[in-house]
Amino acid sequence: MRNLKPYVLGKSIFLREVQLSDAPFILRLRTDPDLNKHISSTDADVASQRHYIGSYQNSLAEYYFVIVDLKLRPIGTVRIYDIQGDSFCWGSWILSKDAPINAAIESALLIYDFAFFALHFRSSHFDVRKANIRVVDFHKRFGANVVREDDLNFYFEYDRDIYMQVRQKYSKFLP
């Protein structure tokens, strides 16, 4: 098991490493029909979710966070995975229906800050389902570039230098 237990503090939310006790919350998010339209399906079993979290905890190549508000309520999830050289993928980004309005922007800023500044990655790669128009538009507004597509997904790349410009623009969402 890794010794590093990441904790990333934002202005109105923070990211903390996932724990086995988060399994019911994560399962609620991933099985909510309003929230799971554009993500891979999940076995609706808490034991399976705990097993997945346990597997993650033994991995040295991933970071899995629960997004938490300052009242200590879990409001979402986000992961870093599929590390390829100096590039990371991020996803499993789900926010609960009662997440604060700025949680999307702030959680994206926090995951990029962690990956680019603490882990020293130079770029990011990720895919978004084409039908997930709001998230596609979100990433484009953040400066991500579509580098290819297939019938189902857009594939994005994002450079740290572009993020530095975007980070200035959205600095009011950071502490």
Q: Where are the domains of the chain?
A: 7-173
CATH fold of 7-173, please?
Answer: Aminopeptidase (3.40.630)
Whole-angstrom distance, CA of residue 162 vs CA of residue 90: 17
User: Regarding beta strands 13-17 and 63-69, do their DSSP bridges make them parallel or antiparallel, or are they unpaired?
Assistant: antiparallel
pLDDT the model gives residue 151: 96
Query: How confident is the model at residue 65, as a pLDDT?
Result: 95
Written as six digits, the tokens of 105 are: 């922007």
Whether the predicted model's global pTM rises above the 0.85 cut: yes
Non-local CB neighbours of 160 within 8 Å, separated by 6+ positions: 116, 121, 122, 123
Beta-strand (E) ranges in the chain?
7-9, 13-17, 63-69, 74-84, 87-95, 123-129, 145-149, 153-159
How would you write the pLDDT of the chain (175 residues) with one tens digit per residue?
344 556 788 999 999 999 999 999 989 888 876 655 656 666 677 888 888 888 888 887 899 999 999 999 999 999 999 999 999 999 889 899 999 999 999 999 999 999 999 999 999 999 999 998 999 999 999 999 999 999 999 999 999 999 999 999 999 999 8
Instruction: Give the residue among 129, 174, 165, 121 at the shortest CA–CA distance from 150.
Output: 129
Kindly report the backbone phi and psi dihedral angles of residue 151, in degrees, each rounded to the nearest multiple of 5, phi listed first.
-60, -30
Q: Alpha helix locations (H) across the chain?
A: 23-31, 46-57, 103-113, 133-141, 160-169
